[in-house]
Structure 1
Amino acid sequence: MHINTEGNFIELTKKQVSITKGVAILFMLLLHLFCTKDYQGLFTPLIIIKGVPLVYYLALFGDCCVAIYCFCSGYGLMCTYKNNPDEYNKKNAKRILKLYINFWIIILLFVVLLGYLTGNSATYPGNIKTFLLNVTAISVSYNGAWWFLTTYIILVVLSKFINKIIQKYNNILITLIVFIIYCICYVQRIKVVITFTNPVLNWVITQAALLGTSLFAFVVGSIFADKKLYSFIYNKVNNIKFKNTLCVLGILFMIVCHGFVQTLFVAIFTGIAFIVLFNLIDKPDSLDRLLYYLSSHSTNMWLTHMFFYMVYFKSLVFMPKYPVFIFIWLVILCLVSSYLIKLFYSNIIKKINL
């Protein structure tokens, strides 16, 4: 944690933000693997509560993964903006280009190459229109988990404007406005109230709903960074007796409550609360090192995991039968592929001097 010369501000470090993003991606894997009550033939749960696997409730809590990632992105981008606003747009352009390069490598390996080798080339990559729409991230039909890629890019593009608004206007009012936007867009995203016959207009309204449901956590993260709200919370609670135990109990309490209130609507609240509680916990160095290591592969895990458990290798992923082993096995498969992706990525980045 960073402490300034006055000893008052103890903010989230770049490493902590990276680790928290990594945890969000692990939550995503957990959510996608086990958030189902129809588990017969997929996995063998060790603990069942009234006919529902315990792992289902743990996976359900993982629906806060997008909120966590958005908060961390908003937090990190605000810090970058405050450090050097003049270079901010240039850094973001590089950030987006690097993400696209990483994304294109994954498309070549998992869509073009594996699609051909597995005899699925009619779908992966399919026709030229489908391929071009996916390569640009305008459409992400190859992989359902890619929907957030488009949203994230839009958030990065808008982030300078968002940061200026946050620094200029009342943050309580801004939070209220983005929460209202969240509620409206949540209804549109889940209920699909507005539809158009024109595919372009349908795309626009879909992206607006996805952006609107991601904006709240992103803005709150930006406000946390700008107003040093984490420092305020940290200074209030860090010396409380049994702080670690209370934080762990707080997370467990949210998991239990979400089991009773099984709606995605609450994910923004559980996600933001988890970020604070998780980072307040004094974790062993070994756990920090493990999570930091995994976080360095989190983007590739996000962009590839669905190809393993749903598209090409479903039987392989669920082969270990028991949830804990299935989860570890999927992480290992994603890590192996990530090293291959990084090999191509690092060579390209060096050659184009990014």
Structure 2
Amino acid sequence: MLEKFDISITNASKGMALMLILWHHLFYEKPESGWLVFQTALLAKVCVGIYVVLSGYGLAESIKKRGMELGVFYKRRLLKLYMNYWLIALLFVPFGAWFMGRTLLSVYGEHSFEGFMIQMLGFHMFTWVSYGYNATWWFMSLIIVLYAIFPLVNFLSARFGWWFLAFCAALLFVPIPLVNDWIFPFAVGVFLSQRNGLVILFEWFQKRGVVGFFILLVATLFMAWYRQHGWLFDSVRADTFFGILLIIWTTKFSLFFSWGKKALEFIGVHSFNIFLFHTFIYYYYFPDFIYGFYSPLLIFLVLLGVCLLISMVIERFKLLIGFDKLI
């Protein structure tokens, strides 16, 4: 029985999402890798929805213990977000500029300093900078906005519940730059935390035994198909529902296989680091090395292993400089 969707399960789900990110980025533009690899790579974009749901859930869980004091919340959360972002940039951008030919001038043009500063503030997706130095960093523009509106989302979700979720679902069809696809999954994550929803969902399937297992399987396969071929709530609009089903599968796997839970937790702990720098490894700096392994599974495992090793070194470096004391 699952009594609480705790930090260990959350980290395992982040680990699952991180592996989906790598699979998606490696193969979503490579149909030559085979039909199954290509289609699963397209489906793996659900990773963004999973991260957004978990972000809303995690923020709502954190204020249960610490309360909601706006100044403290923004200082703690945004500082931690920015400091990790800036550290990765400090490590990888100079390397790219000095050794890989990816200079600021080549990326931002004659306004290189201005462009880089805008990207480091996380506002780049709302400006001429767009994807800038690292295309994956588009997510920073999104998550900063979601963090900023979290206190309001938390209040409205607690006050109006399902009505507020319906309003957020309607926003999926409103052309709000960047964030319109992601306010809904973020609000759902907050809602699930406030009502212990993930535990309730998980237990609903568990109590039905084999029947519950097949219901979950059929629902997941249907959502995978619907995401690619449905209408209205298709594509990324379906990722809230598809992502929650994958989180439930990850929870089942983690509770059944202790070794699997430990492996996913370990990956999850490193997920934010790897999210920030993995594009440098497989795309900007060393694509010939990564894709030189030919087999899609081996390419994926090599990238995952390399990224984990780099992240472990970065975490060791943080300890040596007392990085956590700065945030």
Relative to the length of structure 1, the TM-score reads: 0.80
- The amino acid of 1:36's aligned partner reads E
Determine the C-alpha separation between the residues in 2 that align with 1:86 and 1:72.
19
Which runs of 5 or more structure 1 residues have no equivalent in the other structure? 3-9, 40-44, 186-207
Q: Say if 2:83 is the partner of 1:83.
A: no
Q: Say if 2:201 is the partner of 1:227.
A: no
- Report the equivalent of 2:127: none
Q: Say if 2:263 is the partner of 1:290.
A: yes
Percent of aligned positions that are identical: 25
12, 20, 33: which one aligns with 1:27: 20
Determine the C-alpha separation between the residues in 2 that align with 1:57 and 1:267.
15
Cα pair distance change 1:83/1:309, threshold 3 Å: same
Cα pair distance change 1:244/1:236, threshold 3 Å: closer
Cα pair distance change 1:184/1:349, threshold 3 Å: farther
- Report the equivalent of 1:172: 162
- Report the equivalent of 1:183: 173
CA shift at 1:232, angstroms? 2.7
Determine the C-alpha separation between the residues in 2 that align with 1:257 and 1:352.
46
342, 351, 354: which one aligns with 2:315: 342
Cα pair distance change 1:93/1:138, threshold 3 Å: same
- Report the equivalent of 1:64: 46
What's the CA shift string for 1:169-208, capped at 9, x where partnerless? Answer: 2x121011101111223xxxxxxxxxxxxxxxxxxxxxx4
Which runs of 5 or more structure 2 residues have no equivalent in the other structure? 125-130
CA contact (8 A) 1:105 1:344 kept: no
CA shift at 1:245, angstroms? 5.8
- The amino acid of 2:158's aligned partner reads Q
Determine the C-alpha separation between the residues in 2 that align with 1:339 and 1:233.
34
Determine the C-alpha separation between the residues in 1 that align with 2:326 and 2:283.
36
Which segment drifts farther, 250-259 or 208-217? Answer: 250-259
Q: What is the 5 A alignment of 1:1-354? A: 10-39=3-32, 45=33, 48=34, 53-87=35-69, 89-121=71-103, 122-123=105-106, 127-139=112-124, 140-169=131-160, 171-185=161-175, 208-242=176-210, 243-244=212-213, 247-248=216-217, 250-261=219-230, 263-281=235-253, 282-350=255-323, 352-354=325-327
What's the CA shift string for 1:275-306, capped at 9, x where partnerless? Answer: 23432454300110100010111011111111
Cα pair distance change 1:120/1:148, threshold 3 Å: closer
CA shift at 1:270, angstroms? 1.3
Determine the C-alpha separation between the residues in 1 that align with 2:20 and 2:324.
34
What's the CA shift string for 1:51-103, capped at 9, x where partnerless? Answer: xx211121121111111111111111111122222456424422321222221
CA contact (8 A) 1:80 1:88 kept: no
What's the CA shift string for 1:320-349, capped at 9, x where partnerless? Answer: 101100111111221122123223333444
- The amino acid of 1:141's aligned partner reads G
Which segment drifts farther, 68-77 or 99-108? Answer: 99-108
Give 3-state SS (helix, strand or coil) of 1:211's partner: coil
Determine the C-alpha separation between the residues in 2 that align with 1:35 and 1:345.
33
CA contact (8 A) 2:61 2:193 kept: yes
Which segment drifts farther, 60-69 or 271-280? Answer: 271-280
CA contact (8 A) 1:58 1:255 kept: no
Determine the C-alpha separation between the residues in 1 that align with 2:325 and 2:209.
53
Determine the C-alpha separation between the residues in 2 that align with 1:13 and 1:137.
29
- The amino acid of 1:251's aligned partner reads T
What's the CA shift string for 1:106-159, capped at 9, x where partnerless? Answer: 112211123211233233686211221222222251111111112112211221
Give 3-state SS (helix, strand or coil) of 2:44's partner: helix
Determine the C-alpha separation between the residues in 2 that align with 1:181 and 1:250.
25
Q: For this pair of structures, how many residues does the alignment match?
A: 313
- The amino acid of 2:22's aligned partner reads L
Cα pair distance change 1:96/1:239, threshold 3 Å: same
Determine the C-alpha separation between the residues in 2 that align with 1:133 and 1:14.
33
Determine the C-alpha separation between the residues in 2 that align with 1:65 and 1:103.
19
- The amino acid of 2:207's aligned partner reads N
CA contact (8 A) 1:24 1:68 kept: yes
